[in-house]
Amino acid sequence: MENTSHYKAQEEFKTACELIPPIPSNLFYDSKLWRFINEFAEDGDVWWNVAG
């Protein structure tokens, strides 16, 4: 899709994230994206957790 970016966490799914985000999130899933948010996010970007 246009205007999307895809990243893969370095941690395995069964391993908790190394960088703990300042918001409530699952340490084995969506928290692993926090490193990419810190590095690449810009004003107006959306973080969409698809694990509902």
Per-residue pLDDT tens, the chain, 52 aa: give them.
788 778 888 999 999 999 998 888 889 988 998 999 999 999 998 877 665 4
SS3 (DSSP) at 39: helix
Q: Say which residue the tokens 């205007």 belong to.
A: 3
SS3 (DSSP) at 23: coil
Q: Say which residue the tokens 């959306």 belong to.
A: 46
pTM for the full predicted model: 0.70
- In this prediction, residue 5 carries a pLDDT of 77
